[in-house]
Amino acid sequence: MALKEITIFSDGACLGNPGPGGYGAVLIYRGHRRELAGGFSRTTNNRMELIAAISGLAALREPCSVTLFSDSEYVVNGMTKGWARRWRARGWRRENNKPALNWDLWDQLLQLTEKHRVTFQWVKGHAGHTENERCDQLAVEAAQGSSLAIDCGFESPQPPAANKAMETDAARRCGSSASR
């Protein structure tokens, strides 16, 4: 049986860096669309970019063939150039032996890409691309919301070795904002 072909657009935003942040994702399948958004009280832009991609992929209930568009070179290059896989293989260390930032989210993203067949595509941000602009709007609105969740991976990062027994899904550990 052929996999469903899904298109996901994702974007993150941060009001200050660090500061309140939000993410937005738009999933499209055969003309149907679903929008996801959420926010955190204190985080970084790169974490929101990663969480946007993660939230889109995590919303899929079965393995799918996905084209994921992001305006984040950090996310796209991290996946297409193999950075995240190399960091994981080194115990979440970079080539210079420094810790890989946001390893908790990279780990989640890698796990999701092992479940789905994902192609990452970079799209220029703030360039009038309709779906990217919508994701940006969702992310900014989420960052401006009230009752924002706590980004535990940012507030209390744990080194990978100390965190192996802990659940790595920040949304389950810390709660998440409502999706729409």
- Rounded CA-CA distance 81/83 in Å is 6
- Decide if pLDDT at 165 tops 70: no
- 136 a catalytic residue: yes
111 vs 176: CA distance, rounded Å: 20
Of the residues 24, 38, 71, 131, only one is catalytic, namely 71
Q: Is 71 a catalytic residue?
A: yes
The tens digit of pLDDT for each residue in 39-85 reads 999 999 999 999 999 999 999 999 999 999 999 999 999 999 999 99
What does the pLDDT read at residue 27?
Answer: 98
Decide: 148 and 38 in contact? Cβ < 8 Å.
no
Is 90 exceeded by the pLDDT of residue 120?
Answer: yes
Whether residue 107 lies in the annotated active site = no
**Regarding predicted confidence, which is higher, 160 or 179?**
160
In the residue annotation, 129 being an active-site residue is answered as no
Structural domains of the chain ordered from first start: 4-174 (3.30.420.10)
